[in-house]
Amino acid sequence: MASINTNMAATLAVSNLNKTSDEMSSVLTAMSSGKSINSASDDAAGLAVYTAMSVDYAAWEQAGNNSEVATAILETADGGLSEIGDILERMYELASEAASGSVTDTERAYLDSEYQELVAQIDSIVNSTTYFDTSLLDGTYNQNFTVSADSSVAPIAVDLSTQAFDAATLGLAGDLTDAANATTELAAIEAAVTVVSAGRAEVGALMSRFDYAAGNIETAQTNLEAAMGVYMDADIAALSAEQTELGVKMDSALQALSVSNENLEKLSRLLN
């Protein structure tokens, strides 16, 4: 039945047009942002899952940072120990020469002069081997590093407090002023080399562990990022097809609205 009071055809056309326009707006938003979820109304459950994953990802990212810091600290400590090891090698050469009967006490005094400077340099290295003003080789460093997003996984302890590497603690308190003293120092240096080598071995073992931890963190981040993409990444191909379909619907709705308005105008003319 034709009516001029209620243009239902136009009303339905406008309703369909508004619905299609809203859908088109949602599609364009997803295409421009690259995200399938741009508001909670798009996918409330998916957004909740994605948010939880984002928290986990941030935790893994921080664990990665912790691992890198720990590795940097251990590399710094190993560098200091390496320098001390080189100094001990030179000190052994000096002590061995001083213990020999081929030199006089006058020459031993010269050798001892260099020897004492090297002893002082060991202490200087210990004092200067720090990470953000925190000493690493004085036997006080002991910190834990979280390397997992799982709170049930125990942190890795970087404990360098079991051994100090200053000259006095290493037992390098003698001199080379005579052959007997030089012989005593040879034994002390050999013992110090063993201590420093053990320290480097411990540091190296921890570095290896953090390397594996970093690999595990990277794998976890990669897998989690892929899972997050399932919920959040927009399917541009599907959206493009949907955009084309909605464009056709909008054209059809506009055409229907135009025709319904023309029909109402024609009916109105019958009253004239």
* Within a domain: 17: no
- Predicted confidence at residue 210, as pLDDT, reads 96
Does one domain contain both 255 and 226? no
- Per-residue tokens: 119: 């002893």
Does one domain contain both 157 and 200? yes
* Within a domain: 25: no
Does one domain contain both 194 and 250? no
Q: Specify the number of domains making up the chain.
A: 2
Does one domain contain both 242 and 226? no
CA angle, 196 then 197 then 199, to 5°: 65
Compute the chain's Rg from CA coordinates: 39
**pTM for the whole structure:** 0.74
- By residue range, what is the domain housing residue 216? 44-232
- Predicted confidence at residue 228, as pLDDT, reads 72
Q: Report residue 158: phi and psi, to 5°.
A: -105, 90
* Within a domain: 12: no
Name the E strands within 21-81. none
Q: Count Cα atoms within 13 angstroms, Cβ side, for 241.
A: 4
- Per-residue tokens: 13: 């056309």
Residue whose C-alpha is closest to residue 219's, from 67, 70, 71, 75: 67
Does one domain contain both 259 and 140? no
Does one domain contain both 142 and 244? no
Does one domain contain both 53 and 144? yes
Looking at residue 213, which CATH number applies to its domain?
A: 1.20.1330.10
What's the mean pLDDT in 164-169? Answer: 97
First to last CA, the chain: 20
Does one domain contain both 86 and 143? yes
Query: Is residue 259 over pLDDT 70?
Result: no
* Within a domain: 34: no
Which tops the pLDDT comparison, 154 or 264?
A: 154
- Predicted confidence at residue 231, as pLDDT, reads 65
Query: Is residue 179 over pLDDT 90?
Result: yes
What's the mean pLDDT in 147-168? Answer: 94
